[in-house]
Amino acid sequence: MRYRTIGNGRTSFDVSTICLGTMFFGTRTDVDTSFAILDRFVEAGGTFIDTADNYNAWVGGHGRDSEDLIGRWLADRGVRDRVRIATKVGAAKKDPALPLSNTPPTNFEGLSAEVVQRQAHESARHLGVDRLDVLYGHVDDRETALAETVGAFGALQDEGLVGISGISNVALWRVVEAREEALRQGVAPYGLVQQQYSYVYPEPKLGRHNFVTPDLLDYAASTGSDGRPPLAVTAYSPLYQGALTRRDKPLWGGAEHPTSRARIATLHEVAREIGATPNQVALAWLLGADVPVIPIVGASSVAQLEEALGAAELDLEAEVRARLDAEPVLPREGAASARPAA
């Protein structure tokens, strides 16, 4: 396992370059399997674990199932000092009687000072910890004054409950304004941005603010110097929940287009030639980029985790990376679309 330092200009610590996503731990992924995955992750040197206060609510859970399971695991294994825990607030249901919705009228709790303060303490209680290493705003909230949200995260960091704060599913301009607002208030700025990111990407669309953009990577690369507190990018769904290897899995969110299919075909060709799996190559592509990100990899079995761990120290040669980054040749109209190998 390899490691990198994340921070916000005031607090910093090292994390593994692969983060373990735990979305369905405690529901779809049963307790024994979840514990086995967590055990193997730590055994392999993994230190960064990602959860949220609303995971599992849409698959029969109550929302904090993942936090509760991690809390039980931490208490049972006694490994709190070996891992860094990230959780998220703000995307649980505002009205429990209505469906969760990210389109108007939305049904998110949002990021008011009251919600951020209350739910952060609740997350710590469910996790059984006295400090949240990372706390993200799960979805940007434009209905709450940015100064209020920034101040709330800053207060939690000053209080010592939160180490580094971050924001997810957000437009770049909002990240920049939030960090400038933190400097005006004299509080710690966001040190992390969590967005979706993968070897395939969606078509540009006004209002699509959940995907990593070249501008976000460029901005992150510009930080870490005097007067510019560091900012790191973490990436959820880097493997598109299996869609890079299975044609029956959808490429959602605007990514189902000919360029994606051509890139997936190249991904499979490269993987065969270098003796790795397509998923490992896709993760290594993220890890070894000019502006590397931290992929958050979900696993529902130890075998899936083992595959992801194999990418942690996979270095792609320059010519391989150039091939992966080359503009794909699209099939002519009427030709069969590119499909991944079985």
- Flag whether 36 is in a domain: yes
CATH classification of the domain holding 308: 3.20.20.100
Q: What are the DSSP calls for 166-180, one per residue? A: EEES--HHHHHHHHH
Per the model's pLDDT, the better-predicted residue between 324 and 342 turns out to be 324
In a domain, 237, yes or no: yes
State the Cα–Cα distance between residues 59 and 41, nearest whole angstrom.
24
Q: Which residue has the higher pLDDT, 329 or 315?
A: 315
pLDDT for 334 equals 56
Q: Is pLDDT of 37 > 60?
A: yes
Q: What is the pLDDT of residue 342?
A: 42
Q: What percent of the chain has pLDDT over 70?
A: 94
Domain for residue 84, yes or no?
Answer: yes
**Spatial distance between the Cα atoms of 98 and 256, rounded to a whole number of angstroms:** 30
> Contact at 8 Å (CB) between 156 and 117?
yes
What's the pLDDT tens digit per position in 74-96?
999 999 999 999 999 998 888 88
User: Tell me, what's the pLDDT at 335?
Assistant: 52
- Distance from first CA to last CA of the chain, Å, rounded? 29
Closest CA to 238 of 329, 299, 172, 160: 299
| pLDDT for residue 337 | 47
Residue 253 in domain: no
Residue with the bigger pLDDT between 39 and 55: it is: 39
Within a domain: 266: no
Q: Is residue 257 included in any domain, yes or no?
A: no
* Beta pairing class for 132-137 and 84-89: parallel
Number of H helices, E strands in the chain: 10, 10
Asked whether residue 274 is assigned to any structural domain, the reply reads no
Predicted confidence at residue 33, as pLDDT, reads 98
Q: Higher pLDDT residue, 31 or 100?
A: 31
Q: What sign for the dihedral angle of Cα 327, 329, 334, 335?
A: negative
pLDDT at 333: 61
Position 328 scores a pLDDT of: 84
1-10, 45-54, 86-95, 323-332, range with the lowest pLDDT: 323-332
Which range scores top for mean pLDDT: 204-208, 284-288, 324-328? 284-288
Encode pLDDT of 153-166 as tens digits: 999 999 999 999 99
Count of domains for the chain: 1
17-34 pLDDT, tens digit each: 999 999 999 999 999 999
Rounded to two decimals, the pTM is: 0.93
Is residue 339 predicted with pLDDT exceeding 70?
no
Render 141-175 in DSSP notation, one character per residue: -TTS-HHHHHHHHHHHHHHTSEEEEEEES--HHHH
Interatomic CA distance for residues 56 and 64, integer angstroms? 7
Is 228 part of a structural domain of the chain? yes
Domain limits for position 18: 3-242+290-314
pLDDT of residue 108: 85
